[in-house]
Chains A and B, each alone.
Chain A
């Protein structure tokens, strides 16, 4: 019995601590655990969460994608601007295609040319931010006919009483989880991340696996951009700045290993939702918004350390 409790704490200590946090905030802020507030948090989380789904694929292969923040900016600017020019549906298609294209370039450079993922996606971050300024000429873009377009449904609409972005996020999460668990591609992602050499010897083409992981990341960022553009009905040139870090923080917090091969979609969903609830809870308790950054720091360190300590059987390296 003592053993099981110990094991339970080790494996799910983070979630238990999170539940304690939720309870603590709920006692001190009545509005916290109301359905309306929970849906608001989930609505906010859906954009970073959407991106995190794709980034999880990349991280599982043992690579990184730092370009998603700039990519979100670029794609949001594209979807909003093109909405005014070619209408909502073609704009969405273009945005998703652009996301796939950027992901493919990342995938090509990392998977096939075998360049360092961190630097390549860092270069892409810089390049895409330049591309944003080039495309928009430095000015912000807005949806001109915000009142009479159905485009708003992705960010603002409701479906069966749930916000559409939340539904999109959860449906995508289920699909991504199923792909990882039950498709050959999903198993290959784990294989390449777990032991690349072994995976190559077992006949997996690691280059294509990495390539497609980046393409998935580009696609989910494209969907996130559609939600973002639809919610804001406009886009600034810096709208996605820093998102790559929040997304990574969520993925890491969930317990997906940066070394690859270990982690899952549901962990990412938990990690990114935790960040959302921590942020919202601290605000409701009356803390200034930047206190959440301090808490995020502590939570990341503690969570990852506990996770690592549990895996190797002792706390200190």
Chain B
């Protein structure tokens, strides 16, 4: 898997090098932070760091669920649409039942759609790419059926103050992201479900033969992914005070980019929340830093494409060395 673990008698230098190679996303993150700190006086300020964390938290919460699904060897393309539906329900239902029941139902819509995705994948044996590609198209349809073509406005704007709690410069949204990431890192590394996630992603037949209920397992992870997408949608509705039917469009792509940037592999069986946090922060720092430097929008898009390919190449080089 890596350079250092192969070599028991590693010198300190080798183990440091091995650690750096295994966690190349953090090295890359540190480099981008240094570059932007040097080139913009506004970058390394307490306020801006707080901004980056808040901005990153939205994709970050989606990325947590995506990481679980991707370690399973699956993918969920429908998270952007699920978040739009949750945000529409959380705002639209407030007139009928009050704030918290509406938020709860929004959350449940995400869980239910994640459950549907997972069940379809498990029962049909279809690739999750197809199932959730259908979901991406169809759930967006559900959003439009519910809210029409107009943005829904929150009836009482005190709703937008709910996440406006700060711990120093760090927002509640960012805290929530880190708390969820830590919790699911614990799930991955210290619970049976977590170990099964790696096993299923690594070799699904072996996992099945070892007595893991693969179907139930996948349904659980897709449900978690859908629920987290709903959490993201609700936080977004609180931040904006409106629910736009096109909210979250192509966010699934940014999410996949963040997770892959972190080093989690699409093939499954490998990855962690640490990596995903690294990927999410790198993405957020790049977007924020490029904007502070006043670069036009297209630079961001082009840099993102380039960085993504670089991450793949790097991962390939390191991985090939490690495997031999």
Give chain A's interface residues, CB within 8 Å of chain B. Answer: 64, 109, 113-116, 118-120, 122-134, 138, 245, 248-249, 252, 258-259, 288, 290-294, 296-298, 300-301, 304-305, 308-309, 312, 316-317
- What separation, in Å, do the CA atoms of A127 and B308 have in the docked complex? 10
The residue of chain B having its C-beta at the shortest distance from the C-beta of A109 within the complex is: B309
- Judging by beta carbons under 8 Å apart, are B301 and A113 in contact? no
Q: Which of B122, B125, B144 contacts A288 (CB 8 A)?
A: B144
For B129, the chain A residues whose CB sits under 8 A away are: 64, 118, 258
The residue of chain A having its C-beta at the shortest distance from the C-beta of B126 within the complex is: A304
Given A258-B127, A301-B131, A305-B126, residue A125 in contact with residue B141 (CB < 8 A): no
A-B contact pairs, 21 of them (CB 8 A): A119-B308, A119-B309, A120-B309, A120-B312, A122-B256, A122-B257, A123-B308, A123-B309, A126-B302, A126-B308, A129-B301, A130-B299, A138-B297, A249-B137, A252-B130, A297-B134, A301-B131, A304-B126, A305-B120, A317-B122, A317-B215
CB under 8 Å from chain A, chain B span 283-297:
296-297
For B120, the chain A residues whose CB sits under 8 A away are: 301, 305
Given contacts A126-B308, A317-B122, 8 further A-B contacts (CB under 8 A): A109-B309, A115-B316, A124-B305, A133-B296, A245-B133, A249-B137, A304-B130, A309-B124
- Judging by beta carbons under 8 Å apart, are B141 and A294 in contact? yes
Question: Is B22 located at the chain interface by the 8 A CB criterion?
Answer: no
Return the 8 tightest CB-CB contacts between A and B, nearest first: A297-B138, A317-B125, A127-B305, A130-B301, A293-B141, A130-B302, A290-B144, A133-B298
- What separation, in Å, do the CA atoms of A138 and B297 have in the docked complex? 9
Q: Which of B123, B125, B138, B313 contacts A294 (CB 8 A)?
A: B138
Q: Which of A114, A116, A293 contacts B137 (CB 8 A)?
A: A293
For B312, the chain A residues whose CB sits under 8 A away are: 115-116, 119-120, 123
A233 vs chain B, min Cβ distance (A): 24
The residue of chain A having its C-beta at the shortest distance from the C-beta of B139 within the complex is: A297
B143 vs chain A, min Cβ distance (A): 8
The residue of chain B having its C-beta at the shortest distance from the C-beta of A289 within the complex is: B144
For B306, the chain A residues whose CB sits under 8 A away are: 123, 127
- Judging by beta carbons under 8 Å apart, are A291 and B308 in contact? no
Question: Is B52 located at the chain interface by the 8 A CB criterion?
Answer: no
For A132, the chain B residues whose CB sits under 8 A away are: 298
Question: Is B145 located at the chain interface by the 8 A CB criterion?
Answer: yes
A107 vs chain B, min Cβ distance (A): 14
Q: Which of A124, A138, A252, A288 contacts B133 (CB 8 A)?
A: A252
CB under 8 Å from chain A, chain B span 228-266:
253, 256-257, 260, 266
Question: Is B24 located at the chain interface by the 8 A CB criterion?
Answer: no
- What separation, in Å, do the CA atoms of A312 and B126 have in the docked complex? 12
CB under 8 Å from chain A, chain B span 127-153:
127, 129-131, 133-142, 144-145
- What separation, in Å, do the CA atoms of A287 and B100 have in the docked complex? 33
CB under 8 Å from chain A, chain B span 14-66:
none
- Judging by beta carbons under 8 Å apart, are B124 and A317 in contact? yes
- Judging by beta carbons under 8 Å apart, are A290 and B126 in contact? no
- What separation, in Å, do the CA atoms of A290 and B141 have in the docked complex? 5
For A292, the chain B residues whose CB sits under 8 A away are: 141
The residue of chain A having its C-beta at the shortest distance from the C-beta of B260 within the complex is: A119
For A116, the chain B residues whose CB sits under 8 A away are: 266-267, 312
Q: Which of A134, A297, A317 contacts B302 (CB 8 A)?
A: A134
- What separation, in Å, do the CA atoms of A294 and B81 have in the docked complex? 12
For B134, the chain A residues whose CB sits under 8 A away are: 249, 296-298, 300-301
- Judging by beta carbons under 8 Å apart, are A115 and B141 in contact? no
- What separation, in Å, do the CA atoms of A238 and B83 have in the docked complex? 22
- Judging by beta carbons under 8 Å apart, are B130 and A113 in contact? no
- Judging by beta carbons under 8 Å apart, are A258 and B302 in contact? no
For B202, the chain A residues whose CB sits under 8 A away are: none
Question: Is B170 located at the chain interface by the 8 A CB criterion?
Answer: no
- Judging by beta carbons under 8 Å apart, are B127 and A259 in contact? yes
B67 vs chain A, min Cβ distance (A): 15
The residue of chain A having its C-beta at the shortest distance from the C-beta of B299 within the complex is: A130
- What separation, in Å, do the CA atoms of A302 and B308 have in the docked complex? 34
- What separation, in Å, do the CA atoms of A265 and B266 have in the docked complex? 28
- What separation, in Å, do the CA atoms of A259 and B251 have in the docked complex? 25
A91 vs chain B, min Cβ distance (A): 22
- What separation, in Å, do the CA atoms of A249 and B296 have in the docked complex? 33
- What separation, in Å, do the CA atoms of A249 and B136 have in the docked complex? 11
- What separation, in Å, do the CA atoms of A19 and B267 have in the docked complex? 39
For A293, the chain B residues whose CB sits under 8 A away are: 137-138, 140-141, 144
